[in-house]
Amino acid sequence: MKPDSTQHVADQLANIALCKTPLPPINAAAPLSDQISTFFSSVSNTSDFPARWYCGSWSDFHGWLYILSDIGIGAAYFTIPVLLLVVIRRRNDSPFQRIFLLFIAFILLCGLTHLIDATIFWWPAYRLSALLRLATAIVSIVTVFALYKMLPLISSLRSVRDLECEIVKRKEVEEKLAASEFLLSEAGRISEVGGWETDLITKVRTWSKTVYDILELPDDYPLNQLSLYSHVQEPYKKIAEAAVTAAIETGREWDEELVATTLTGKSVWVRSTGRPLFDENGKVTKLRGIFMNIDRYKNAELALNKSLELTTQNNVQLKNFTHILSHNIRNHATNMVLLSTLVDPEKLDEENALLFEKMKDVSNGLNSTLEDLSKAIKIKESVVQSELIDLKTITEKVLGIFHTDLNMNNAVVDIYFEETVVSFPRVYLESIITNLVSNAIKYRKPDSPLHIQLKCYQDQDEKTVLECRDNGLGIDLALHGKKMFGLYKTFHNRSDAHGVGLFLVKTQIESQGGKIEVESEPGVGSAFKIIFNG
């Protein structure tokens, strides 16, 4: 309600009269300097202004609506800065603290202008209100300028949508990272490979769980009570000590196989690797590496080495036996053949002479067999150096040996050498071509002219292939394929077939890392392919 006590009636009438007093003409105003001086000297003086209740036609509703609205706005304006101060305190890393402070000052001044507006209904401090409005205007302009300067930074900030998208992407990355960590952890657990790190400055050691598992240590075992090699057995501890010392002093990495002792006293083979880490001054400050359980692999390796030693011993014994076979027994067989030449069959009776001839044939056969075995053994044992050989020269030399046989059988020999040079022992290559051409002549078809093709080319694996193809009798591979290159294996009823040539060919080519393949069909012919190694 408006104040209407008796003591204020006179004031009310004076204020009404004052409100109705006409303003002096503008040209009658005092100088500006005097106005400014009078304004500041009378800031708190309200005698020359009426209270707002008495200036104008205010109803109770209209006046209190104005007053309460200003008080509500002022209260809100005073509350907002408090909340902004809480935000600044909680987010002291915000890049907008200065602009927040300007907003706080601006909002506080706005709140004060509304509160002054409400009090003017009783206390007409219009000059003070004008000063507050001037201060509010100045702070407002400064705030607008500061906000304008901050616009580029504000524009560069990501929106909520951008942040939501980034959160989604980060979750996807975290899920993938978690999956990768799981796979890495499982791979380390299954393969028993763990990591470790030692800080030489702080003496702090860090091991992955797999290292604990390898040494059978509990997860809470105090690592700092261990030295770098306290779990390593003698004499491997000296190797570990030397490796760590060299890493610290010279920066050298290491990779050693050691025997470690677990907490339960079990011995286990481990592989320890390490590398030094340097600070900006080049000083070694950390050691980092992996620790791997190789017990089963190492035990298998040791067992294999032991087996190889036994095999080597057996091979030595077998080699000694073959020497006895190729030397001593062959000497005895040769002596038997020589003794048989000293006997005069004409002085024997008919029955003994027949038995002697049979014994002589057996002796000669035994000697021939031992000669063949001796050749095979020499090929297996000897190391013959390869050399670059011109195929055409070797082939012409071999064909010259069989010139008469080829002419007698009207043979046609076609030579197609795409590759003209091979790396192979000369004596072996000459023997191989000789045996292949000899077999082609020996097992020709009697009713057809002999046709031999000699080719040399590279196959799909870029291996050099020497092929000898003929149109001879051929071989039934379904029947004889498995024993094709066996010693003394023959496939045609010929008195001059001994079954040694192909055996020697296979032995010679395999001694140099190559192999031999055969294609054959009865009545069509055969093709032997020598595949060189390299």
Q: Give the model's pLDDT for residue 32.
A: 80
Looking at the DSSP assignment, which residues form a beta bridge with residue 34?
none
* Residue appearing with tokens 């077999």: 439
| 192-293 CATH | 3.30.450.20
Domain segments of the chain as ranges? 6-156, 192-293, 301-381, 387-531
Backbone angles phi, psi at 205, to 5 degrees: -115, 140
Q: Give the model's pLDDT for residue 202.
A: 84
The predicted-structure confidence for 380-404, as pLDDT tens digits, reads as follows 555 567 888 888 888 888 888 888 8
Cis status of the peptide bond prior to 235, with omega within 30 of 0? yes
- Asked if the model's pLDDT at residue 136 lies above 70, the reply is yes
Q: CA nearest 332: which of 378, 370, 373?
A: 370
The predicted-structure confidence for 279-328, as pLDDT tens digits, reads as follows 888 888 888 888 888 888 878 878 888 877 777 676 665 565 565 555 55
Rounded Cα gap, residues 388 and 423, in angstroms: 4
Look up residue 485 and give its amino acid. Answer: F
Q: Give the model's pLDDT for residue 380.
A: 54
Looking at the DSSP assignment, which residues form a beta bridge with residue 455?
416, 467
* Residue appearing with tokens 């950390």: 286
Look up residue 497 and give its amino acid. Answer: A
The predicted-structure confidence for 215-265, as pLDDT tens digits, reads as follows 888 877 777 666 667 788 888 888 888 888 888 888 888 888 888 888 888
Evaluate whether the domain defined by 387-531 bears CATH number 3.40.50.300.
Answer: no
The DSSP line for 362-430 is: HHHHHHHHHHHHHHHHHHHH--PPPEEEEHHHHHHHHHHHTHHHHHHTT-EEEEEES--EEEE-HHHHH
pTM of the model: 0.38
Q: Give the model's pLDDT for residue 407.
A: 84
342 confidence band (pLDDT: 50, 70, 90): low
Give the C-alpha distances (Å, rounded to integers) separating 153 from 94, 156, 162, 163. 12, 5, 16, 16
410 confidence band (pLDDT: 50, 70, 90): confident
Contact 237, 245 (CB under 8 A): no
Spatial CB neighbours of 420, under 8 Å, sequence gap ≥ 6: 390, 391, 392, 456
Q: Give the model's pLDDT for residue 534.
A: 66
The predicted-structure confidence for 151-184, as pLDDT tens digits, reads as follows 887 777 777 787 788 888 888 888 777 776 666 6
Q: Give the model's pLDDT for residue 27.
A: 42
b/e burial code for range 229-265 (CB count within 10 A of at least 16 → b): bebbeeebbebbeebbeebbeeeeebeeebbbeeeee
Mean of per-residue pLDDT scores for the chain: 78
Residue 121 CB coordination number (10 Å): 20
Query: CA angle 202-208-213, nearest 5°?
Result: 125
Percent above pLDDT 90 for the chain: 2
Mean pLDDT lowest for which of 228-242, 325-339, 507-521?
Answer: 325-339
**Which stretch of DSSP H or E encloses residue 291?**
strand 284-293
**Segments of 211-283 assigned E as strands:** 254-261, 267-278
Rounded Cα gap, residues 137 and 230, in angstroms: 77
Give the C-alpha distances (Å, rounded to integers) separating 45 from 123, 125, 129. 10, 7, 12
Rounded Cα gap, residues 225 and 156, in angstroms: 53
The predicted-structure confidence for 425-443, as pLDDT tens digits, reads as follows 888 888 888 888 888 888 8
Rounded Cα gap, residues 497 and 273, in angstroms: 63
Looking at the DSSP assignment, which residues form a beta bridge with residue 414?
453
The DSSP line for 296-343 is: HHHHHHHHHHHHHHHHHHHHHHHHHHHHIIIIIIHHHHHHHHHHHHHS
* Residue appearing with tokens 């087996």: 307
Rounded Cα gap, residues 474 and 440, in angstroms: 10
Beta strands 464-470 and 254-261 are unpaired
Rounded Cα gap, residues 82 and 229, in angstroms: 62
Contact 58, 146 (CB under 8 A): no
